[in-house]
């Protein structure tokens, strides 16, 4: 069973009309359901944005753990060595404390570019060090 709110709204209106409700009652139902589906749509959009923001904050929290050792400069951004190679996201070469950079767009596979959340410095994504 699908949980498409528009389909559910249509079903409710359909139930109202087949149950013999007067047209003005069904129209009123339709108007109220339209308000609900619009509100739901806004909330879904907001939820998607919040999930994205949460993902960014989790990445930031993970990558801001203190660490020792130098960075590896690769394609204009700094990379942190890990036991298996390098971390997933680079660090800003412009800021003196080298904060973590975000991929833009932030979800999916490889980003188009890296961006520093502090100074705004960007670098094109040019692969990852191996
Ligand atoms: Zn920076």
The whole-number pLDDT of residue 1 equals: 46
| Centroid of ligand 1 to alpha carbon of 2 (angstroms) | 45
Count of beta carbons in the 10 Å neighbourhood of residue 87: 19
Q: 88 and 113: one domain? A: yes
At residue 93, does pLDDT exceed 80? Answer: yes
pTM of the model: 0.47
How far away, in angstroms, is 79 Cα from ligand 1 center?
Answer: 14
Look at residue 68 in the predicted model and tell me its pLDDT: 43
12 lies in the same domain as 51: yes
Q: Quick one: pLDDT band at residue 94, thresholds 50, 70, 90?
A: very high
Q: What percent of the chain has pLDDT over 90?
A: 45
**Number of folded domains that form the chain:** 2
Write out pLDDT tens, residues 61-78.
766 654 445 788 899 999
- How far away, in angstroms, is 119 Cα from ligand 1 center? 4
Task: Round to whole Å and give the CA distance between 94 and 72.
Answer: 14
Ligand 1 midpoint to CA 102 (Å): 11
In this predicted structure, the answer to whether residue 7 has a pLDDT above a threshold of 60 is yes
Q: Is residue 129 part of a domain?
A: no
Tell me, yes or no, whether 78 and 105 share the same domain. yes
CA of 9 relative to ligand 1 center, distance in Å: 49
What single-letter DSSP state applies at residue 81?
E
pLDDT tens digits along 9-31: 888 888 888 888 888 888 998 89
Give the per-residue pLDDT at 12: 86
Q: Are 51 and 85 part of one and the same domain?
A: no
Integer Cα distance of 22 and 65 in angstroms = 64
Confidence at 6, pLDDT banded by 50, 70, 90: confident
Report yes or no on 45 lying in a domain: yes
The residues that bridge with 122 in the sheet, in sequence order, are: 115
pLDDT of residue 64: 61
Q: Which residues pair with 49 in a beta bridge?
A: none
The b-or-e profile of 119-130 (16+ CB within 10 A means b, else e) is: eebbbebeebee
Residues 108 and 78 in one domain: yes
76/120 same-domain check: yes
Segment (H or E) for 19: none
């Amino acid at each position: 069973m699908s949980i498409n709110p528009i389909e559910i709204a249509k079903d409710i209106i359909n139930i109202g009309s087949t149950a013999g409700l007067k047209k003005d009652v069904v129209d009123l139902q339709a108007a109220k359901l339209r308000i609900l589906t619009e509100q739901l749509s806004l909330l879904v959009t907001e939820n998607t944005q919040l999930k994205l923001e949460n993902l960014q904050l989790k990445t930031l929290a993970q990558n801001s753990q203190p660490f020792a050792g130098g960075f590896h400069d690769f394609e204009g951004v700094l990379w942190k060595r890990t036991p298996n190679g390098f971390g997933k996201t680079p660090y800003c070469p412009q800021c003196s404390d080298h904060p973590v950079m975000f991929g833009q767009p932030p979800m999916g596979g490889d980003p188009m570019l890296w961006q520093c959340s502090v100074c705004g410095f960007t670098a094109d994504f040019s692969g990852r060090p191996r």
